Amino acid sequence: MNQPHSTPFDQQRPIPGVKNIIAVSSGKGGVGKSTVSVNLALALSKKNKVGLLDADIYGPSLPRLTGTLNQKPVISQDQKLEPLVRHNVKLMSIGFIVDEGAAVVWRGPMLFKAMDQFLRDVKWGELDYLIIDLPPGTGDVQLSLAQKVPVAGSVIVSTPQNIALADVKKAVDMWQRTGVPLLGLVENMAWMRNPANNEKIQLFPRGEMDSYLDAKGLPKLVQVPFDPSVGLAGEAGVPVVESHPQGEEAKAFFTLAERVRELVPS
């Protein structure tokens, strides 16, 4: 029989116990999505119950960024995956299951199935926020997330220059089409401080990002400076919010957490 009103979003179901799902996305790779996801999760966890799902199945970064490389999640008696817990955040990543260096070659249906398992077969328990670190682009993973669960909001991460703007536009278009509310943009690597005199150095030229955001009515949630401590912290597996909480970068992540709490109250 014809079901004229059925859409792919009809299968959408909340995850019991999880109040708000926040997607962190970008059109481009390497702009700092995983860095933002991890630090946002840690900053939120100071006041809230938080989980972090690394849904970048092609390039999972969470195990390295959180110092959980080579750790395996336990499978409980009821055949669910127990998330790992680090820095007070519940973590799950394909990287806990597939070895670093091994390529994941899933597409279409397998991806949809894997997303199902990460969302429903992990013992997330009671969470105020589940942060989802997405792969770059506007593909199957993003789509399957939007179809499977109600996403409370998405944060887009970008660097300031025009070459990144084209990809921001695609990401904005995708979330609008899937009906996911856009919370705003995190401008990463907005500047760096000259170590000699502490003046700001513009790493990437500023382009039309701000006028685009204004035209779309999208807020810039926060600007995160570039600083070697962020990269070092990531390599060491202790994110900068934990390792340098007084630094300008960590403060930006704490501000981002506040903005998210305001826009998506728990």
Ligand X SMILES: Nc1ncnc2c1ncn2[C@@H]1O[C@H](COP(=O)(O)OP(=O)(O)O)[C@@H](O)[C@H]1O
Give the interface with ligand X as residue ranges (CB under 6 A).
Answer: 26, 29-35, 61, 188-189, 224, 226-227, 230-231, 234, 249
CB atoms within 10 A of CB 249: 21
What tokens appear for 10 in the block? 């009809």
| Residue 80 beta carbon to ligand X: minimum distance, rounded to whole angstroms | 27
Q: Which CB atom, from 31 or from 119, has the smaller least distance to ligand X? A: 31
Q: Which CB atom, from 37 or from 49, has the smaller least distance to ligand X? A: 37
231 binds, among ligand X, Mg ion, none (CB under 5 to 8 A by kind): ligand X
Q: Which CB atom, from 92 or from 128, has the smaller least distance to Mg ion? A: 92
Integer Cα distance of 153 and 23 in angstroms: 6
| Residue 218 beta carbon to ligand X: minimum distance, rounded to whole angstroms | 19
| Residue 188 beta carbon to ligand X: minimum distance, rounded to whole angstroms | 5
242 binds, among Mg ion, ligand X, none (CB under 5 to 8 A by kind): none
189 binds, among Mg ion, ligand X, none (CB under 5 to 8 A by kind): ligand X
| Residue 197 beta carbon to ligand X: minimum distance, rounded to whole angstroms | 19
Find the residue with minimal CB distance to Mg ion: 34
Q: Which conformational region is residue 243 in: left (phi greater than 0), alpha (psi within -120 to 50 degrees), or beta?
A: alpha
Q: Which CB atom, from 56 or from 140, has the smaller least distance to Mg ion? A: 56
| Residue 230 beta carbon to ligand X: minimum distance, rounded to whole angstroms | 3
Dihedrals phi, psi of 118, to nearest 5 degrees: -65, -30
Comparing C-alpha atoms, which of 222, 235, 208, 171 is closest to residue 24?
171
| Residue 14 beta carbon to ligand X: minimum distance, rounded to whole angstroms | 26
Beta pairing, strands 89-93 & 84-86: antiparallel
30 binds, among ligand X, Mg ion, none (CB under 5 to 8 A by kind): ligand X
224 binds, among Mg ion, ligand X, none (CB under 5 to 8 A by kind): ligand X
Q: Which CB atom, from 33 or from 148, has the smaller least distance to Mg ion? A: 33
Query: For residue 148, with 0-12 CB atoms within 10 Å meaning exposed, 13-18 middle and 19 or more buried, which class applies?
Result: buried
| Residue 236 beta carbon to ligand X: minimum distance, rounded to whole angstroms | 10
Q: Which CB atom, from 36 or from 257, has the smaller least distance to Mg ion? A: 36
Integer Cα distance of 64 and 69 in angstroms: 6
Q: Which CB atom, from 140 or from 167, has the smaller least distance to ligand X? A: 167
Q: Give the binding site for Mg ion (CB under 5 A).
A: 33-34, 56, 61
Integer Cα distance of 81 and 73 in angstroms: 6
Cite the DSSP H helix spans in the chain. 33-44, 62-65, 108-120, 140-148, 162-178, 209-216, 228-236, 240-243, 248-263
> Are the C-beta atoms of residues 129 and 22 closer than 8 Å to each other?
yes
Residue 148 neighbours by CB under 8 Å, 6+ apart: 11, 12, 13, 112, 115, 116, 119
150 binds, among Mg ion, ligand X, none (CB under 5 to 8 A by kind): none
